[in-house]
């Protein structure tokens, strides 16, 4: 019996089917828990799925390369999905046209603050260059952040996890911190959440108001663009 089971296991782990299926199931499980909790930021579906899958691969001694051979079909869709971000970006630009000058200034400053402060603080605390490169785009939406890190020579997978942690952190402290600092304007709260904490911050802004959510979504998109253009230039200066 155990012999047969092992044969099935050997067969399954050699085909992409198993790890592709596990990826979808782990994500659906994570999403179910997140929704059951009423949208608690700490129960982020991606984080839950990653923890489950890492535990599973680790306990079955499966190398990441074997897992990725199956999961790459999902991973490939990141490229077209990044291009597709142009559509919500276009729609939001049209709805908030009036506030655009202030918005652009806030996002440019936020983009610079996010990457420069992360790199300087990380270096001060003794982080290696690889870690710094993976940390620098932490406030950018995951697909773009991974692309930036990859181009600069960091570790995209580490970036993915750091980006998600940044999102959770910002969604948890954002509204409290901004209110304490006397920033109550829902547009400003939205821009702050979208710039610092991308999609996870935007999910939190949805709970504040419709205005906050629109500004947050736009801030996320424009911050991704701004950081993708600025960070490679900035890195030369920061790396010295």
Partner 1 sequence: MIESFAVLLVCQLIGEILVTAAHLPVPGPVVGMLLLFLGLLVRGTVPEVLARTAGALLQHLSLLFVPAGVGVMLHLELLADQWAAVGLALLVSTALTLLVAGALMAWTARLLGDKA
Residues within window 216-235 making contact with partner 1, judged by CB under 8 A: 219, 224-225, 228-229, 232-233
From 9-17, 35-43, 133-141, span contacting partner 1 (CB under 8 A): 133-141
Yes or no: say if 139 and 111 are a contact pair by the CB < 8 Å rule. yes
- State which residue, 6 or 81, has the beta carbon closest to partner 1: 81
Among 21, 37, 72, 95, binds partner 1 (CB under 8 A): 72
Q: Is 54 in the site for partner 1 (CB under 8 A)?
A: yes
Report the candidate in 165, 160, 155 with the shortest Cα–Cα distance to residue 128: 155
Should residue 130 be labelled a site residue for partner 1 when binding is judged by CB under 8 A? yes
Using CB under 8 A, pick the residue from 29, 40, 43, 156 that binds partner 1: 156
Q: Shortest Cβ distance from residue 2 to partner 1 (Å)?
A: 27
How many Cα atoms occupy the beta-carbon half-sphere of 196 within 13 Å? 23
25 lies in the binding site for partner 1 (CB under 8 A): no
Among positions 12, 14, 17, 24, the unique one binding partner 1 when judged by CB under 8 A: 24
Asked whether the beta carbons of 104 and 222 are under 8 A apart, the reply is yes
Nearer to partner 1, 6 or 223 (CB): 223
Contact pattern from residue 199 through residue 218 relative to partner 1, giving x for each residue in contact according to CB under 8 A and a dash for the rest: x-----------x---x---
Q: What does the block give as tokens for 44?
A: 């982020």
Distances (CA, A) of 88 to 91, 92, 220: 5, 6, 11
Residues of this chain, 2-21, that bind partner 1 according to CB under 8 A: none
Segment interacting with partner 1 (CB under 8 A) among 8-16, 35-43, 112-120: 112-120
169 CB burial (10 A radius; 0-12, 13-18, 19+): middle
- For the CB of residue 4, give the shortest distance to partner 1 in the complex, in Å: 29
Tell me the closest approach of the beta carbon of residue 59 to partner 1, in angstroms: 12
Query: Which of 114, 208, 214, 218 is in the footprint of partner 1 by CB under 8 A?
Result: 114
Closest Cα partner for 44 from 167, 151, 133, 153? 167
DSSP state letters, 187-236: HHHHHHHHHHHHHHHHHHHHTT-HHHHHHHHHHHHHHHHHHHHHHHHHHH
Q: Which of 18, 92, 174, 218 binds partner 1 (CB under 8 A)?
A: 174
Task: Give the rounded distance of the alpha carbon of 2 from its chain centre.
Answer: 41
């Amino acid at each position: 019996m155990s012999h047969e089971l092992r044969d099935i296991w050997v067969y399954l782990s050699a085909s992409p089917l198993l790890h592709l299926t596990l990826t979808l199931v782990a994500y659906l499980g994570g999403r179910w828990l997140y929704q059951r909790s009423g949208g608690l930021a700490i129960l982020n579906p991606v984080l839950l799925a990653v923890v489950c899958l890492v535990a599973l691969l680790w306990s079955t001694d499966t190398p990441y390369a074997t897992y990725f051979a199956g999961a790459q079909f999902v991973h490939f869709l990141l490229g077209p999905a990044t291009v597709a971000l142009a559509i919500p970006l276009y729609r939001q630009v049209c709805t908030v046209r009036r506030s655009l000058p202030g918005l652009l200034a806030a996002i440019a400053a936020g983009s610079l603050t996010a990457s420069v402060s992360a790199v300087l603080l990380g270096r001060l605390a003794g982080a290696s260059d690889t870690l710094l490169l993976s940390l620098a785009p932490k406030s950018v939406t995951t697909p773009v952040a991974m692309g930036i890190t990859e181009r600069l020579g960091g570790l995209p997978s580490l970036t993915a996890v750091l980006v998600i942690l940044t999102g959770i952190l910002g969604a948890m402290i954002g509204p409290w911190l901004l209110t304490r600092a006397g920033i109550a304007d829902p547009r400003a709260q939205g821009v702050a959440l979208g710039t610092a904490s991308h999609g996870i911050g935007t999910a939190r802004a949805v709970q504040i108001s419709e205005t906050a959510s629109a500004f947050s979504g736009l801030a996320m998109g424009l911050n991704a663009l701004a950081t993708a253009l600025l960070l490679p230039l900035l890195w030369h200066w920061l790396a010295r």
